[in-house]
Amino acid sequence: MLAVAMAAAAFALPARSGADPTGAPVPAHWEPTPTTAAWQWQLQGKIDTSVPAAVYDIDGFEVPKGTVEQLHRLGRKVVCYLDVGSWETDRPDAGQFPKSVIGRRYEGFPDERWLDIRRFRLFAKPLKHRFDLCARKGFDAVEPDNIAGWENRTGFPITRQDQLRFNRWVAHQVHARGMAVALKNDGGQANELVDDFNFAIVEQCFQYEECGPYRTFVEHDKAVFETEYELKPEQFCPEANQIDFSAIGKSYDLFAEPWRSCGE
């Protein structure tokens, strides 16, 4: 437990506040710095709070406020996982998204479809309610998933500029609610967005040799949380620790186990 507390202390830095691009004040929020301390990513099953990780990334809809509070008592920071660039049939607010913005199926997930983020104002209301949900439950940060539609077959002609506009809007909405925000799997825009996002969450960048773009976050004194599904720890941990990425090994279903940390 002492090791976890010490790792968590590395994240308990002074919160940063300031102004957004419009000049409006932004509430103070968490600013995780580069680290190799362990994190945990669990999106299915009852949350196992015994995993010795300083940061937990868990589902914003499924996990109750009490679990967030329990993790805080244990000294953990807690990230709220939400889909913002795709539509899921099983979410309670699914009916609030107009059919006109629902596109192609997300590969590998038959109950999920891409959203037309060019017209995000048409579904801004349910997204804002999702961010409100994370704030009410006391999360420290938000992981907004599927914010790289411009690189995928969404069914819509989404451009790089469309994506930048939407991603910055998401970051502003999260910051306005006093939470940090992660850039998720959008290395192609990392340089443009590093000033808008507080840290990065990345999948399989060592396997696919795509970690380079995210090093800009470390260079800007911001954390990178990375996970691998197929590589063995000895195949990615040495490099992850060398470049100050917090890397773990998981399975694709993201239950509590397996969990293999590179944390030093």
Give the span between the Cα atoms of 248 and 228, in whole angstroms. Answer: 6
Q: What is the DSSP letter of 158?
A: -
Look over the chain and give the mean of its residue pLDDT values, rounded to a whole number.
91
What pTM did the predictor assign?
0.90
| 2-10+39-198 carries CATH number 1.10.3210.10 | no
Give the span between the Cα atoms of 179 and 131, in whole angstroms. Answer: 9
The model's pLDDT over 121-153, given as tens digits with 9 standing for 90+, comes to 999 999 999 999 999 999 999 999 999 999 999
**121 alpha carbon, distance to own chain's centre:** 22
Give the span between the Cα atoms of 106 and 87, in whole angstroms. Answer: 9
**Among 60, 61, 57, CA closest to 38:** 57
Domain edges within the chain: 2-10+39-198
What's the confidence (pLDDT) of residue 25? 61
Mean pLDDT of 29-35: 94
